[in-house]
Structure 1
Amino acid sequence: MSASSEAAATLDPPVFDWDPWTIENLTDPYPMHHAMRETGPIVWLSKYDMYAVARHEECSTVLSDNSRFMTGAGTSMQDIRKPGKFRIPSRLQEVDPPKHTEIRAVVNRVMSPLVIRKMRDFFEIQAASMAEEVLERGEMEAVEDLIEPYVISAFPAAVGVKLERKAALTIAEMRFNQSCPHNELYHKAMAKAEPYLEWYDRACERDAVVPDSIAHLLFQAEDAGELEEGVASNITRSFVGGGVDSTISAIGHTLHHLARNPDQYALVKSDLKKVRPAFEEGIRMDMPFQYTWRTTIRDTNFGDYRLAGDTKVTVLLGSANRDPRRWDDPDRYDISRQTVGNYLGFGVGDHKCVGQMIARLEADAILTALISRAASMELAEEPVYRPVNQMRMLGRLPLRFTRG
């Protein structure tokens, strides 16, 4: 940024008084997103003493400009460098360049496209078996009966951690409530997770992971000196904590939007190559990760606004993906939309989601298995959302199918 543009910033960001983490705003965030986007390109969250960005362009800038916005203070609301807030950072998500670049290079090699493609057969076999089972019933509660058990069964083949369903889901809920205000949702999630913390630690150690899996390859890289001691188990923990609920959420939202839009379902049914754009558009419409954070490295300018250094910036991913400045008719589910490469579904810049290929492969398999066997799909009842501080999650998704 030039010196002249630095000098031009004389304004403080407008104050935004809404609380994003009320139950009302967690279960239906879109009125709040609209209000924040219209308030300004960056706002001051008065309740939490931090900045927030909700428009697509500004969210992309904060996520990609690591010269001004750091991840090392934590991709949570809490500054993990500060007394009383410290926790061990994710060595994949909460490390800045150049150290992040070194770690990411090793992980990218371990998770090469060739390695990921080897998982396809297993995913497709699992998906076909489960789709046949649920379609025999004609109706199902998709979250509990299909999506959760499918992702839990696919995960060990992908990452190499043997999951216990209740333990894995409880740990994921803890992590996604932990990143935000320490409200009632946080305290309940922490209490529920307490009995499973020992399992979580044990399941992510080298002697517990599946041989020749991604986790096993990470431990081999650590043994070879390519990763520092402790990094392999740290990254494996991140996969378990972050890769289960997010995939469950994304598949659920896609099924929800297809059930609500029979014309879009018919397009996918007629050409199963459209499963992928249907999935990406489902994420754009209802982003699983609604929030992430960066921290200003120093006093800086952001357009016409001056920002204080060492201050958290909340990035509203779900709002950015429905920003009318970026999308025509953004609240409409449209699988013909050019979503990939233009939305913030899997992050931007150096910290793009490292597991995105796995999530896409899992989704391709289960969505193709269902849609290829079902002539139609509709809502049997209205879905129910489960409030989680950082996530947009369906608690119930009752669906009705016609075979064919």
Structure 2
Amino acid sequence: MNLTDVSAPAAHPTAPADGIAHLDIDPFSIAFFDDPYPAHEAMREAGPVIYLDRWNVYGVARYAEVYAVLNDNRTFCSSRGVGLSDFAKETPWRPPSLILEADPPAHTRTRAVLSKVLSPAVMKRLRDGFMAAAEAKVDELLARGQFDAITELAEAYPLSVFPDALGLKPEGREHLIPYASLVFNAFGPPNELRQQAIARSAPHQAYVTEQCQRDNLTPGGFGACIHAFAETGDITPAEAPLLVRSLLSAGLDTTVYGIGAAVYCLARFPEEWQRLRQDPSLARNAFEEAVRFESPVQTFFRTTTREVEIGGVTIPEGEKVLMFLGSANRDVRRWERPDVYDISRKVSGHVGFGSGIHMCVGQLVARLEGEAVLTALARKVATIEVNGAVKRRYNNTLRGLESLPISITPA
């Protein structure tokens, strides 16, 4: 990749100001997905704000600037889309999310509902059941000894607890992970990943739309609780299914990719695995550190609502700004030894779940499930080893694995 200082393409209506580094990096290419770290470093070193000529967007890759953009929703809005597509100029591929793709005051009202549905008190009620399910899953896998840690653990465990907690019927759950993958691919540019995902999306979208209706949700689950807020007037009956849809996206993928990242980290850092075995109470932090280290959610966009200056660079109104969360989580300006997985690290402040008013709404569920899996592994498993070819899953927004063959032995 080259670091050049050239003028913006003539097709761009508001050419960036002089003095900004132009990079020919494509953060949505397969080569980038395979190894983003050299590009992350190049972007961080190029300046506090960069310009990516490939997609005509500004970018921030250092922790301080990413954190600042995430926490200034008035200047950097979400309602014009958190992907490359600008909703002010083009029609969204689906009705916009009332959570992810909304700004206050509309966002404040709907977010308050989901915060109550997914409150710490609710997580406390779910805790014992989630822990027991994780132990049962690990026992099942120990009996076999060898398995794929992605399909048979990172996906299988959340799919065994989260849809029940949400109140989904048993039929059709195979659509959930492809649907989440579709949503996050759609945030990217019109590349092959996005086009193929949308082209294949009809059955997944139909399933999700149907399952979000009140009649299809079992009483007492997250979904039914959301619909109950329509009766109290906190949200409208039309908004309730869209909020359930937000949970189907936000509550599953972060967990699947986070658990996969944690198991992959522990298999590659045997000293950290032994530390976790000796002290299973570190499970929550081990999961959190995996989210920082691997950053399952790599990028999000915002759109400027006014002309703004960041790090001496003036960005005009109506410009897309691409935040590199994964790069921020490994910025040496913020973290000591950022490229080392350390389960005792003080990891608070990482942006793996975002930050500010749009921080991942499913984060409490993800953390509970991640802690449950790692606690069960630490208590029951002696060794974790990769025993086959590791395959990456390509997505415009998410970073994770398609396949992680491992072998484990009982403690």
Place the TM-score, normalised by the shorter chain, in its bin: over 0.9
Cα deviation 1:275-313 (Å, max 9, x = unaligned): 011101111111111111111001121131111101111
Q: Which residue of the other structure, out of 172, 176, 179, is the alignment partner of 2:180? A: 172
CA distance in 1, matches of 2:65, 2:355: 12
Q: Which residue of 2 aligns with 1:21?
A: 28
The letter of the residue matching 1:298 is R
Question: Superposed, which structure 2 residues align to 1:4-403 within 5 Å?
Answer: 12-85=19-92, 87-162=94-169, 164-340=172-348, 342-403=349-410
Cα deviation 1:350-384 (Å, max 9, x = unaligned): 11112111111111112211221111111112421
Q: For the Cα contact (< 8 Å) 1:10–1:304, is it kept in 2?
A: no
Comparing 256-265 with 140-149, greater Cα deviation is found at 140-149
Task: Sort the Cα spacing of 1:173 and 1:10 in 2 relative to 1 into closer, same or farther, 3 A.
Answer: closer
Task: Give the C-alpha shift of residue 48 in structure 1.
Answer: 1.1
Cα deviation 1:233-291 (Å, max 9, x = unaligned): 11111111232222111001101111111110111101110101110111111111111
Task: Give the C-alpha shift of residue 141 in structure 1.
Answer: 0.9
CA distance in 2, matches of 1:327, 1:26: 22
Q: TM-score, normalised by structure 2?
A: 0.92
Task: Sort the Cα spacing of 1:382 and 1:294 in 2 relative to 1 into closer, same or farther, 3 A.
Answer: same
Unaligned runs of 5+ in 2: 1-15
- SS of the residue 1:175 aligns to: helix
Unaligned runs of 5+ in 1: 1-8
Cα deviation 1:38-72 (Å, max 9, x = unaligned): 11111111111111111000000001012311111
CA distance in 1, matches of 2:34, 2:248: 24
Q: For the Cα contact (< 8 Å) 1:299–1:306, is it kept in 2?
A: yes
- SS of the residue 1:118 aligns to: helix
CA distance in 1, matches of 2:83, 2:189: 9
The letter of the residue matching 1:147 is A
Task: Sort the Cα spacing of 1:212 and 1:74 in 2 relative to 1 into closer, same or farther, 3 A.
Answer: same
Task: Sort the Cα spacing of 1:21 and 1:126 in 2 relative to 1 into closer, same or farther, 3 A.
Answer: same
Equivalenced residues, count: 395
Two-structure CA RMSD over aligned residues (Å): 1.7
Q: For the Cα contact (< 8 Å) 1:281–1:333, is it kept in 2?
A: yes
Task: Sort the Cα spacing of 1:374 and 1:86 in 2 relative to 1 into closer, same or farther, 3 A.
Answer: closer
Q: For the Cα contact (< 8 Å) 1:60–1:348, is it kept in 2?
A: yes
Cα deviation 1:320-367 (Å, max 9, x = unaligned): 000111111111111111002x21022111111121111111111122
Q: For the Cα contact (< 8 Å) 2:303–2:318, is it kept in 1?
A: yes
CA distance in 2, matches of 1:362, 1:390: 22
CA distance in 1, matches of 2:238, 2:296: 28
Task: Give the C-alpha shift of residue 83 in structure 1.
Answer: 3.3
CA distance in 1, matches of 2:311, 2:269: 39
Task: Give the C-alpha shift of residue 189 in structure 1.
Answer: 1.7
Q: For the Cα contact (< 8 Å) 1:27–1:386, is it kept in 2?
A: no
Q: For the Cα contact (< 8 Å) 1:386–1:394, is it kept in 2?
A: yes
Q: For the Cα contact (< 8 Å) 2:307–2:316, is it kept in 1?
A: yes
CA distance in 1, matches of 2:118, 2:178: 26
Comparing 95-104 with 59-68, greater Cα deviation is found at 95-104
Q: Which residue of 2 aligns with 1:6?
A: none
Q: TM-score, normalised by structure 1?
A: 0.94
The letter of the residue matching 1:103 is T
Comparing 303-312 with 189-198, greater Cα deviation is found at 189-198
